[in-house]
Amino acid sequence: MSEDREATRGEDGESGTAGGPAPLTEQEQALLAVERRSWPGPGAKERAVREGLGLSPTRYYQLLNALLDDPRALAHDPVTVNRLRRVREERQRRR
């Protein structure tokens, strides 16, 4: 997400307009699309992230983690977001 876009969005994900929350960006939608897919083995997902999104795996997971807390993401893809939230919570509990 660009810094310009972040500057116009409040903490609750709302845009500066009265029209309600801004829609997910193409990149945000692509992050969720990667997580919806099943992957055949180790490395395939990371390769798709590098080649398809142009992101390092580390940056991908940083963006994805932030996106999981965005109510717009939950509205866009509740099944994927809730699954990923459960996985994240389980990992946090094990620490």
Per-residue b/e over 17-56, b at no fewer than 16 CB within 10 Å?
A: eeeebeebeeebebbbebbeeeeeeeeebeeebeeebebe
Q: What pTM does this model have?
A: 0.75
The residues facing 14 across adjacent strands are 21
Provide the residue ranges of all domains of the chain, joining segments of one domain with +. 23-94
The model's pLDDT over 36-89, given as tens digits with 9 standing for 90+, comes to 999 998 799 999 999 999 999 999 999 999 999 999 999 999 999 999 999 999
pLDDT of residue 7: 37
